[in-house]
Structure 1
């Protein structure tokens, strides 16, 4: 991939059980990897007939990449599959400068993966609108970053129990500006001056801003003490301030996980509503 000095494990790929129509790329959280995340999430049953996610979406190819092995400061510099470094578990917004290297490398890796999957979809007469990016916890934070400067309008972004890296700075460069396109360009300029990554677009201004039109679903446990609900709500507010189409759901009684069947059913309904 982009950085030959860092090697990501091969993604876990779950092929569709019927003709391929869509692809979902799913990003794991801290202390896990694509293999573990795939086993945990895809065994989750939806409501009604109790179908699993692959059974409910038989035409979907599921791709579970893993963060590259990195030393994680919050875990005594243990080598872990992480998307970027975390300074402290107590406050994920602390130590953002130390996150830059990981955000840059992981963004480049994921952009290449997204491009490759879109190319596969295009060969079967589909395209970028048939690809969803889905992240949990740190994977949500990573996915949010890619969506804001990826340059492609994807089918959707699903973010669970996460936050937006550099959220205060993102808000700072966009607040007070009435023109939506100017707000978006200001954010894009900030993000790419902080963590420059390859665009997925054709390089035009309209192409670079296209990802801001990606529909977003954000879900968060209201009793989450690992990734505070406030951080998820702040990410929602930042997206809405950029004129993005955001669906927000907070779940009573849920800590740092996903709620079954309620949250997973809400995601299914959201995706089907976006013609997924």
Structure 2
């Protein structure tokens, strides 16, 4: 599941998660085919993991390399209950991968305590959905705070349920609202809340920034679903930047890749 691109002595790590029916190397070949100006992302290790084979309902039950099951491309709320096992498994895997990358950065000379800030987790489509839900669960920050999350053409699983949690916690501090969402997501996904899991209740003072990018002509993961995700995240007090692209369907474009590069470079500017 782990496919590092350009391994070398590095100071930062960008982990990017593929969409349904893709693999890590396939996404890597797409994203790395776009030219990135030399000043952006120097000394960065790119990691493109591949989801384990899972039966995928939308493809008539055939096995695909996926993070969780998808029932239909028409309505992402259909079959959400069947997504729970895959989401939990994939979030646990992603958490372990982040911890491994922290150790790799420390080996490369980065001070422990700063390594997490030098890791950005991104994803395309279902990979974006996984990255965002993983952040809300707190599982991606078991060891230390990560630098940022990038969501391309994604949506927020269980958004309607999360919106109810937000609505039930109106009028409280952002940290309390985010803690309530975290508790809901962790219970939903049966994530461990034992001795280690109890640490998840501690909220970081500085919020992890999230970049959300979406094509306005996307019919597979509709642009409106990205807008709904953005609204929910803002209502719980998350730090959001948004970029939208006229004419872009369910894919990526050069302008978007440059925006991602500039955003990530800005996140890392203070830790290099």
Indicate whether 1:170 and 2:168 are aligned: no
Distance 1:211 1:86 in 2: 35
Deviating runs (4+, > 4 A) in structure 1? Answer: none
Specify whether residues 274 and 56 from structure 1 end up closer, same or farther in structure 2 by C-alpha distance, changes over 3 A only: closer
Q: Aligned equivalents of 1:131 and 1:232: distance in 2?
A: 23
What's the secondary structure of 2:234's corresponding residue?
A: helix
5 Å-filtered alignment, 1:25-174, equals 25-46=15-36, 56-123=40-107, 124-126=109-111, 127-151=115-139, 152=141, 153-174=145-166
- The answer to whether the 8 A contact 1:148-1:212 is kept is no
Q: What is the DSSP-based 3-state SS (H/G/I as helix, E as strand, rest coil) of the residue aligned with 2:101?
A: helix
Please report how far the alpha carbon of residue 212 of structure 1 lies from its aligned counterpart in structure 2 after TM superposition.
Answer: 7.9
Q: How does 1:217-256 map to 2 (within 5 A)?
A: 217-256=211-250
Task: Give 3-state SS (helix, strand or coil) of 2:182's partner.
Answer: helix
| C-alpha contact 1:150 1:211 (8 A) present in aligned 2 | no
1:14-43: CA deviation from partner (whole Å, max 9, x where unpaired): 1356x4100111100012111111111111
Instruction: Summarize the Cα distance change of 1:211–1:130 in structure 2 as closer, same or farther, 3 Å threshold.
Output: farther
Residues 211 and 73 of structure 1: is their aligned pair in 2 closer, same or farther, counting only changes over 3 Å?
A: farther
Q: Counterparts of 1:255-274 in structure 2 under 5 Å? A: 255-260=249-254, 262-274=255-267
Q: Structure 2 unaligned runs (5+)?
A: none
How far has the Cα of 1:241 moved from its partner? 1.2
Partner of 1:7: none
Which has the larger displacement, 116-125 or 221-230? 116-125
In the superposition, the TM-score normalised over structure 1's length comes to 0.87
Choose which of 3, 6, 10 in structure 2 pairs with 1:15. Answer: 6
Query: Could you tell me how far 1:118 is from its partner in structure 2?
Result: 1.3
- Post-superposition Cα deviations, 1:130-155, rounded to whole Å, max 9, x if no partner, equal 00001000100011111111352311
CA–CA distance in structure 2, aligned partners of residues 136 and 205 of structure 1: 26
Residues 24 and 134, structure 1, Cα contact 8 Å, conserved in 2? yes
Q: What does the per-residue CA deviation read over 1:107-164, in whole Å, with 9 as the maximum and x for residues that have no partner?
A: 1111111111112223422410000001000100011111111352311101000001
Q: What CA distance in whole angstroms lies between the structure 1 residues aligned with 2:89 and 2:186?
A: 13
Following the alignment from structure 2 to structure 1, what is the Cα–Cα distance between the partners of residues 97 and 21? 22
Q: RMSD over aligned Cα, in angstroms? A: 2.0
Distance 1:222 1:205 in 2: 36
- Equivalenced residue count is 257
Following TM superposition, by how much is the alpha carbon of 1:275 offset from its aligned partner in structure 2, in angstroms?
Answer: 2.8
